[in-house]
């Protein structure tokens, strides 16, 4: 945004030189990136306007900042109209169709007849050139001057070129052609708003006027438009047609709904001054009550507490007056103001306090003020996720982070189609639903890594499930392991152990859609189901182009977190080395690892750690038996163990296991 130094001084009476003014504006948040000579005895200020302050997109808005900084008063332009013509309503009409009322809630029209189109006065041309704008003719130059002065885009139509001399605000017709005043052409659709006459579109609302009703040297009668267009609607039109303008830039950010009629009157007065003519009596305004204001109260004591230093109430009132805030009430400890309509961002007490801090000076905030800090507590669910991640990573699993949006046919059969949420406007048309299971995403990652052997993956994330009780976002852990479902179960049990889950996980055979028939199981904690494991079905393996079916598992993390007893305990590092002893047994198929583990822990003295190593079925084993291998870490707290001691413990463990499981034998 290019600002004219001379223009700002005229509006405020400021006497700061351009460089000092730029520094003062930058200090209050309006960053001036460059100051230079604009010619014609003027300087330009190149301002970087933040999106939350659209009121800075005009000289009058910046003038209020200067007034607040220098304790000055803004000299708003005087508007005096001579309405000598017939009533405006007899010369034109404005109709807003129902589908257009949301995008254009306010439209103001004035008519000036008998104008003489020609060059603008030198001062007006110089003012436009100083801010980088090209003068065109006196009518168009006036609309530009008022836009940059008051932040209200305007448009002038040649009234005689309007079919039936009237305005209709409506949605465009699908396939309707539009040619802009700049020569650009496009095809419209019904999502866009147009300003039309009785026959065709004459402007793309909030973006650009049409060439078919442009003001030229033959124009005699002018219809002056000032409107408030919804930012979202203008943004959609500008993006879809790939057109933009100074008007659309302002409408997209939100202009002052209370400036519409005043800016129209200001422009009409300048047209009478620059181009002569006769102004029709009155004007058309479709919604004069659009700009409502709400009072906001600020307590001086609250302001002082938040800023950490005292601001004199008189200084606060002066700041508010400079910003254009109307004081409507005051007590010893508070002031109540009505923010102007161009400051739509001032809605709460905190907003007013921020204005005081900004204009009183951030440099006044003392550095010695201490602020109490409260250490936030980590939620049990978050802590459970972290521990599970560390445990699985230590076991050699790679963590995945996949997209929450998936193809519609992915989650079934792992989750029913009725439980899925379909997105109305998906970012990717090929991924229109929110995932209701993590398993398909891991299968897709496995497909992408087909060249790798023994892949081990996991992901922790939210799923999105629709059911009778309403939407749910259950956090889940999914595991994929090429080595089989027993390794998936082992990984889940390792995570449960790290989480200090109370009780032992139960297992029951259960077939589930998406898993191989007869090879699935459910894991339970007490009476609560918390996981399902199994091999991927042949159909799912083929669907994701996999040569072999991997082991899969999906865990409800909310159940696990609720059953965990996470705590921190200090354990000093061991002083003496440990000795590892491996044991391999042939045991009946009905023997579970959990039973074997319980037996080993009860029999082994000096046991410091127990690790499952492998499971074997095949050649060398009699029918109905399997091979289980495990490793024991033995350690004494007061000495280094000799081999004889370690071997004695191992032999005792083997003896107890053979007695506990009939038919078992060493391998």
Do residue 239 and residue 189 come from a single domain? yes
Strand partners, 167: 94
Q: How crowded is residue 165: how many other Cβ atoms within 10 Å of its Cβ?
A: 17
Assign residue 637 the CATH number of its domain.
3.30.70.380
Question: Token pair of 388, please?
Answer: 């599970």
CA distances from residue 78 to 226, 262, 275, 519, 638 in whole angstroms, order as listed: 18, 10, 18, 86, 96
Do residue 545 and residue 399 come from a single domain? yes
Do residue 428 and residue 505 come from a single domain? yes
Calpha distance 360→323 (Å, rounded): 13
Calpha distance 71→56 (Å, rounded): 18
* 590: CB partners within 8 A, 6+ apart: none
Q: Provide the pLDDT for residue 391.
A: 95
What sign does the dihedral 118-119-124-129 (CA atoms) show?
positive
Q: How crowded is residue 420: how many other Cβ atoms within 10 Å of its Cβ?
A: 21
Do residue 90 and residue 226 come from a single domain? yes
Residue 105: half-sphere exposure toward Cβ, Cα within 13 Å: 11
Do residue 275 and residue 142 come from a single domain? yes
Q: Is there a domain that residue 75 lies in?
A: no
Q: Is there a domain that residue 77 lies in?
A: no
pLDDT (tens digit per residue) in 402-413:
999 999 999 888
pLDDT (tens digit per residue) in 342-374:
998 999 999 999 999 999 988 888 876 566 777
Do residue 318 and residue 433 come from a single domain? no
Calpha distance 268→272 (Å, rounded): 6
Do residue 650 and residue 510 come from a single domain? no
Strand partners, 470: 467
For residue 585, give the nearest of 545, 609, 613, 564 by alpha carbon: 613
pLDDT at 273 over 70: yes
Do residue 210 and residue 260 come from a single domain? yes
Residue where a domain terminates, one of 364, 394, 422 = 364
pLDDT at 433 over 90: yes
Q: Is there a domain that residue 524 lies in?
A: yes
Q: Which residues of 648-658 are buried (b: 16+ CB within 10 A; e: fewer)?
A: ebbeebbeebe
Calpha distance 418→466 (Å, rounded): 7
Assign residue 30 the CATH number of its domain.
3.30.56.10
Do residue 146 and residue 179 come from a single domain? yes
pLDDT (tens digit per residue) in 131-149:
999 999 999 999 999 999 9
State the pLDDT confidence band at 419, using cuts at 50, 70 and 90: confident
Domain count, the chain: 5
Do residue 58 and residue 100 come from a single domain? no
pLDDT at 289 over 90: no
Query: Where in 369-497 does DSSP place strands (E)?
Result: 398-399, 405-406, 421-422, 433-434, 456-462, 465-467, 470-472, 475-481
Interval 286-314 mean pLDDT: 92
Residue where a domain terminates, one of 510, 537, 563 = 563
For residue 110, give the nearest of 150, 152, 81 by alpha carbon: 81
Do residue 505 and residue 531 come from a single domain? yes
Share the mean pLDDT of the chain.
Answer: 92
* 39: CB partners within 8 A, 6+ apart: 126, 129, 130
Do residue 351 and residue 249 come from a single domain? no
Assign residue 544 the CATH number of its domain.
3.30.930.10
pLDDT at 150 over 90: yes
> Which single residue is written with the structure tokens 């200084």?
315
Residue 374, helix vs strand vs coil: coil
Calpha distance 479→651 (Å, rounded): 36
Q: Is there a domain that residue 574 lies in?
A: no
Q: Are 208 and 184 in contact (CB under 8 A)?
A: yes
Q: Provide the pLDDT for residue 80.
A: 84
Taking the model in full, what pTM does it have?
0.60
Residue where a domain terminates, one of 364, 391, 422 = 364
- Structural domain that includes position 585: 579-666
SS3 string, 151-211, reads CCCEEEEEHHHCHHHCEEEEECCCCCEEEECCCCEEECCCCCEEEECCCCEEEECCCEEEH
Calpha distance 210→158 (Å, rounded): 11
């Amino acid at each position: 945004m290019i600002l004219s130094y001379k223009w700002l001084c005229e509006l405020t009476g400021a006497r700061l030189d351009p460089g000092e003014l730029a520094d003062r504006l930058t200090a209050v948040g309006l960053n001036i990136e460059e100051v230079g000579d604009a010619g014609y005895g003027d300087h330009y200020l190149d301002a970087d306007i933040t999106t939350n302050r659209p009121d800075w997109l005009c000289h009058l808005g910046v003038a209020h900042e200067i007034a607040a900084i220098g304790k000055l008063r803004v000299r708003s332009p005087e508007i005096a109209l001579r309405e000598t013509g017939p009533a405006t309503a007899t010369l034109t009409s404005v109709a807003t169709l129902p589908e257009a009322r949301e995008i254009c809630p306010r439209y103001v029209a004035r008519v000036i007849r008998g104008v003489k189109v020609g060059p603008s006065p030198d001062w007006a041309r110089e003012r436009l050139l100083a801010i980088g704008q090209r003068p065109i003719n006196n009518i168009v130059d006036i609309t530009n001057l008022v836009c940059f002065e008051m932040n209200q885009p305007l448009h002038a139509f040649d009234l005689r070129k309007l079919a039936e001399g009237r305005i209709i605000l409506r949605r465009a017709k699908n396939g309707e052609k539009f040619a802009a005043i700049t020569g650009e052409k496009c095809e419209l659709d019904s999502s866009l708003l147009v300003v039309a006459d009785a026959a065709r579109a004459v402007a793309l609302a909030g973006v650009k006027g049409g060439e078919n009703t442009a003001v030229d040297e033959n124009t005699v009668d002018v219809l002056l438009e000032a409107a408030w267009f919804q930012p979202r609607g203008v943004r959609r039109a500008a993006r879809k047609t790939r057109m933009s303008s100074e008007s659309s830039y302002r409408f997209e950010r939100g202009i002052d709904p209370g400036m519409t009629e005043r800016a129209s009157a200001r422009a009409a007065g300048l047209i009478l001054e620059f181009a002569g003519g006769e102004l029709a009596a009155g004007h058309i305004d479709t919604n004069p009550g659009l700009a409502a204001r709400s009072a906001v109260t600020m307590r001086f004591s609250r302001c002082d507490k938040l800023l950490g230093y005292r601001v004199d109430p008189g200084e606060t009132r002066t700041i508010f007056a400079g910003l254009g805030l109307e004081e409507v009430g005051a007590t010893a400890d508070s002031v109540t103001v009505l923010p102007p309509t161009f400051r739509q961002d001032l809605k709460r007490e905190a907003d007013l306090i921020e204005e005081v801090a900004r204009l009183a000076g951030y440099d006044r905030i003392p550095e010695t003020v201490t602020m109490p800090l409260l250490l936030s507590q980590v939620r049990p669910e978050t802590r459970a996720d972290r521990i599970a991640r560390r445990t699985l990573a230590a076991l050699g699993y790679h963590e995945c982070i996949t997209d929450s949006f998936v193809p519609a046919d992915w989650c079934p059969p792992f989750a029913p189609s009725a439980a899925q949420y379909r997105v109305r406007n998906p970012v990717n048309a090929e991924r229109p639903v929110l995932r209701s299971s993590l398993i398909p995403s891991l299968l897709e990652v496995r497909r992408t890594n087909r060249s790798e052997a023994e892949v081990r993956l996991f992901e922790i994330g939210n799923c999105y499930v629709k059911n009778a009780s309403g939407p749910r976002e259950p956090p889940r852990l999914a595991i994929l392991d090429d080595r089989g479902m027993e390794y998936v179960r082992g990984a889940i049990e390792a995570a449960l152990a790290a989480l200090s889950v109370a009780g032992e996980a139960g297992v029951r055979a259960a077939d589930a859609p998406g898993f191989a028939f007869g090879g699935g199981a459910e894991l339970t904690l007490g009476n609560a189901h918390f996981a399902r494991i199994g091999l991927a079905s042949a159909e799912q393996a083929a669907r994701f182009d996999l040569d072999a079916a991997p082991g899969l598992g999906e865990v409800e993390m909310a159940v696990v977190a609720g059953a965990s007893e996470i705590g921190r305990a200090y354990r000093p590092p061991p002083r003496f080395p440990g000795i590892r002893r491996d044991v391999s047994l042939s045991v009946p198929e009905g023997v579970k690892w959990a039973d074997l583990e319980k037996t080993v822990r009860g029999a082994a003295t000096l046991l410091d750690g127990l690790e499952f190593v492998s499971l074997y079925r095949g050649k060398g084993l009699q029918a109905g038996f399997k091979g289980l291998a495990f490793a024991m870490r033995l350690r004494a707290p007061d000495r280094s163990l000799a081999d004889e001691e370690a071997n004695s413990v191992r032999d005792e463990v083997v003896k107890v296991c053979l007695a506990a499981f009939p038919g078992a034998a060493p391998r």
